[in-house]
Structure 1
Amino acid sequence: MKQIDDLVRGAVAYEDGLDLLAVAPAAEVDPALFGALADAVARLVRGGWQPAELHRAVVRRGGTDRPLLAAALVDAIAALLRGYARRSVDERWLAQADELGAAVWWSADASYVSELTARRRLDRISVVDDLLGLLVVLRALHPIEVLVPPPGSALVPSTKASAVDSRLLDKVRALLAKAESTGYPAEAETYTAKAQELIARHAIDEALLAGRDGAGADVVPFARRIGVDHPYENEKASLLDAVAEANRCHTVWSPDYGFATVFGFDADIDAVDLLYTSLLVQAGRAMAKAEPPGGKAGRARLKTFRQSFLVAYAVRIGERLARATELAIEEAAAASDLLPVLRSRDEQVRETMAKIFPRTVRGRGSRVDSLEGWESGREAADRAILN
């Protein structure tokens, strides 16, 4: 329907276009609106977007005060999957859709808008407004790197590294949960240290196994996009980079979309994801305890404190994790040929990153304008990460 396309492209003023659609016959508008939504999602999926990434982008750009945008996106993903047998869709792509709860609940595409209106107990114009808003958000998204084959692509045998053993993951999650919940810094350090120890030992064992007599030769590095939420995205991205580097991974930060692409072997990326998430929680809790009072008079001071805190936290985390990694490698290397294996794996990771991102730009570091925040951040990192 031309009116929908004109509105989404910005050829007509949004309110004017919405008024035209409001008086147009619903029998013409509703099927066209759902068709435009399905086409937009299909275009982005072919362009490399995965379900969780699309959902995050819509929430980020559409606002948390418009929950219907995210819900309609999930419905469009369900409509897309309807055309494929589950066994023909990559398991990682399918897992994301399942986690979002993507399922076809409406009786016919032509009646989707009216059924959604009844289901949400809203007036039709509000629903049409939100669906148009979703289309505007989706139109602003551009193709990104294809990391997981989208539905409809020829599936290839999986050559990614094996993920961390589920029992080990359960132990690590339990330790990090205790580190996040305790109010005593010494306990948090102990729990986090034990989690890092388990992860490091597993990663070294896996590297040695893969390098022994050519075992694991079919295993290749992988990439995963990890969301970085605002506020203070750049500082949080620095923390993610510090954790990734200490765990033999490399990152590319995409601030426009609010995610970083982490390159590494799958078990290492799992470790990065877990540790980063936990450390972010610990940093937030420590920052809340140490920060100066807010209010209008202290708003600028509070912002610079938080930025400086997170910069210092990321720097100190990087220093301590790097040292911990060095000690673990030195201990294992004394009894094995670990170092050549690690060098080879690092070269593979860098080659994979160069293929997907042939040109990258080194980001600018964040400014530190609060000595109070810097010192508090380093102290918090000392408490959060192993010695």
Structure 2
Amino acid sequence: MGQRSQGGRRTRRPVREVHLRFAHAREQDGREEREERDERAEHAERDGRRDERRNGRRSPGERLSALLGPVLEAPESGLTDAVDVAASGLAEPAEEWSAAGRALLVLGDQLLGRLWSNGWQPADVERIVRRESTPRHTRLVVDLIASEARRYPTAALPARWAAQLAALEARPGWGADDRFLAAVAAREKADRFSTATTVFELLRLLCWLPPIKPVGPAPGRDGSRADAAAAAVDTGTGDPRVLDRIRALLAKAESTEFPQEAEALTAKAQQLMARHSIDHALLAVESGGRERPEAIRIGVDAPYEGAKAALLNAVAAANRCRVVWSQSLGFCTVLGFPVDLESVELLYTSLLVQATAALNQEGAAVRSGSRKRAFRQSFLVAYAERIAQRLSAAASAAEEEYESEAGAAERESRESRLLPALAARDAAVRDSTDRMFPELKSTRAPAARDYAGWIAGQAAADRAQLGSARGALK
């Protein structure tokens, strides 16, 4: 199946110093007004820190940094005590709670900015926090992401970045920044100590996240929006009309109660994707386009993440993409050309919805714990294997359909153009994978140990809609 990144292991190296600065840039009106406001804020903060030092007091940022240091250094055995001490120090005195909230937002901007430089994106951070912590921590990190995003004008956000922020519903909803921690505490129905505990637990996790391979520009970095726009003009991503038809087919596949209809719809969707990829590849060759493979990350969550990664690999392979699984971080990196990456994302999401629905229905009668897990694992492994076969057949059918549409003379011309174009794209994706992940090891799909689960999974895969209701495309 796919490949596992050697760099995916988490290396817990505490960050010893957290440097705070209080020039808190916020996007509002225009560049000149923002710069003038920031300059005033810098002077005010600098004067405030000078006065506080004269009076023997630390600024809110320095105080937060001092409280965080022991939490970052604490071993797992002493973490609870370290967090309790830090939370007590942040929660009291009550009159400094507002200033602590502002300091946290500044620190969050800095930590997230460093994560973006280290390859992370908003969806990755939200996913790892959700995977490792509680919903309360997840909501807090989305707040910090929303705060950090205020630093950039909308036009400076790469398209995928903006889409992730929208999917996370990352919007500042706390009013003035000095109300931040009070608003968080009210939302969570928590006191100051409990809120501060969540803060330090989250900050420790964010500080420990290792660098990962970047899969696209971050906002504010060179080439964030301009390069993406230029690439879209030069190469074109997917035709919106075709993608809308594919989405419509897959939506019907997910909602229908009739297995035969679901099977037909999903098969047709894959044929559309394959044909769309063929047309795009030939257009790129004929136009002399400079299209290059790109990468995206797709979350693969527990349970049964091995079987889910195998399903994603099946979808990617059928669409001329490659998959690298970072198991410890809960995602797969998918490499391919933009039009194919869109197809992979759409189809994998749909098939996972269909597989989950079928699994819940088929596995309802399996009651015992160990047998139930074995059944579900076997079901998903079989489902992924059978889907791989069906997707490959659908892709081949699309190529045959493309060639059969022409007469004998034109057919020979099409074959002479198509095969080299597809081979060149396959080679480009393989080379990009090797450059991005020079040290990989292959991993086998998880084993299936329950015969009934295997049979049920194969049957569900045969029923799954790859997309072929003939009338749906009229």
- The TM-score normalised by the length of structure 1 is 0.90
Contact 2:120 2:214 (8 Å CA) reproduced: yes
Matched residue, 2:262: 188
In structure 2, relative to structure 1, the CA distance for the partners of 1:350 and 1:109 (3 Å cut) is: same
CA distance in 1, matches of 2:158, 2:288: 22
2:118 aligns with: 47
Q: 1:125 and 1:197 mapped to 2: Cα distance? A: 56
Q: 1:385 to 1:30 in 2, by over 3 A?
A: closer
Return the alpha-carbon distance in structure 2 between the equivalents of residues 233 and 119 of structure 1: 32
Residues 149-178 of structure 1, C-alpha deviations (whole Å, 9 max, x = no match): 112211152326422222222221221121
Q: Residue 249 of structure 2 corresponds to which residue in structure 1?
A: 175
Secondary structure of 1:83's partner? coil
Unaligned runs of 5+ in 1: none
Percent identity, aligned pairs only?
A: 42
Aligned to 2:73: 9
Q: Which residue of 2 aligns with 1:96?
A: 164
Q: In the alignment, what sits opposite 1:305?
A: 375
Question: In the alignment, which of 289, 295, 314 is matched to residue 217 of structure 1?
Answer: 289
Superposition RMSD in Å = 2.3
Q: Does 1:139 align with 2:207?
A: yes
Equivalent of 1:163 in 220, 237, 243: 237
Check conservation: 1:293, 1:302, Cα contact below 8 A. Answer: no
- What's 1:208 paired with? 282
- Distance in 1, matches of 2:453 and 2:366, equals 14
User: Which residue in the other structure is 1:81 paired with?
Assistant: 149
**Change in CA separation of 1:348 and 1:211 when aligned onto 2, cut-off 3 Å:** same
In the TM superposition, what are the counterparts of 1:106-121 in structure 2 within 5 Å? 106=174, 109=177, 111-118=179-186, 120-121=188-189
- Equivalent of 1:18, from 66, 84, 89? 84
Counterpart of 2:303 in structure 1 is 231
Q: Does 1:378 align with 2:458?
A: yes
1:342-377, Cα deviation, whole Å (9 max, x unpaired): 000111111111121111110133112111111111
- What letter is aligned with 1:123? D
1:362 aligns with 2:442: yes
* One of 34, 37, 60 as aligned partner of 2:131: 60
1:314 matched to 2:384? The reply is yes
In the TM superposition, what whole-angstrom CA distance separates every residue of 1:261-280 from its partner, at most 9, and x where no partner exists?
11111111111111111111
2:419 is aligned to 339
The answer to whether the 8 A contact 1:308-1:371 is kept is: yes
Offset at 1:118?
4.1
Alignment partner of 2:348 out of 276, 292, 295: 276
Q: Which amino acid aligns with 2:220?
A: G
Q: Deviations over 1:84-129 (max 9, x none)?
A: 3332332322332233233344455455323433455432112111
Aligned residue for 2:218, secondary structure, equals coil
Q: Is the 8 A contact 1:308 1:377 kept in 2?
A: yes
Contact 1:192 1:385 in 2 (8 A): yes
Is the counterpart of residue 324 in structure 1 residue 404 in structure 2?
no
Aligned-partner residue type, residue 117 of structure 1: A
User: C-alpha separation between the residues in 1 aligned to 2:105 and 2:156?
Assistant: 25
C-alpha displacement at 1:194, in angstroms? Answer: 2.1
Q: TM-score, normalised by structure 2?
A: 0.75
Give the letter for the 2:269 counterpart. Answer: A
Sort the Cα spacing of 1:364 and 1:197 in 2 relative to 1 into closer, same or farther, 3 A. closer
Q: Aligned partner of 2:109: which letter?
A: A
Please, which moves more after superposition, 139-148 or 223-232?
Answer: 139-148
SS at match of 1:217: coil
Runs of 4+ in 1 over 6 A off after TM superposition: none
SS at match of 1:151: coil
- Structure 1 stretch displaced more, 273-282 or 232-241: 273-282
Shift of residue 139 of structure 1? 2.5
Instruction: Work out which structure has the larger RCO, using CA pairs closer than 8 Å and 6 or more positions apart in sequence.
Output: 2
Matched, 1:350 2:414: no
Residue identity in the other structure for 2:150: R
Structure 2 CA distance for aligned equivalents of residues 40 and 180 of structure 1:
39
User: Which amino acid letter does the alignment assign opposite residue 197 of structure 2?
Assistant: D
1:350 partner letter: R
* Alpha-carbon displacement from aligned partner over 1:209-249 (angstroms, at most 9, x marks no partner): 1112xx15221111110111211000010000001101111
Deviates more, 1:340-349 or 1:350-359: 350-359
CA distance in structure 1 between the partners assigned to 2:243 and 2:159 by the alignment = 19
SS at match of 2:84: helix
Greater Rg over alpha carbons, structure: 2
**What is the distance in 1 between the residues matched to 2:220 and 2:101?**
27
The verdict on how the C-alpha distance between 1:21 and 1:378 changes in structure 2, with shifts beyond 3 A counting, is closer
Q: What is the CA distance between 1:292 and its match in structure 2?
A: 6.1
Q: Could you tell me whether the CA contact under 8 Å between 1:222 and 1:265 is conserved in 2?
A: yes
Are the equivalent residues in 2 in contact too, given 1:309–1:378 (CA < 8 A)?
A: yes
For 1:385 and 1:183, the matched residues in 2 are separated by 11
Match of 1:204, SS state, is: helix
Q: Give the counterpart of 2:363 among 287, 291, 299.
A: 291
**Shift in Å, 1:305:** 1.0
Is this contact kept in 2: 1:250–1:263, CA < 8 A? yes
CA distance in 2, matches of 1:133, 1:43: 18
Which residue among 112, 132, 139 is the counterpart of 1:71? 139
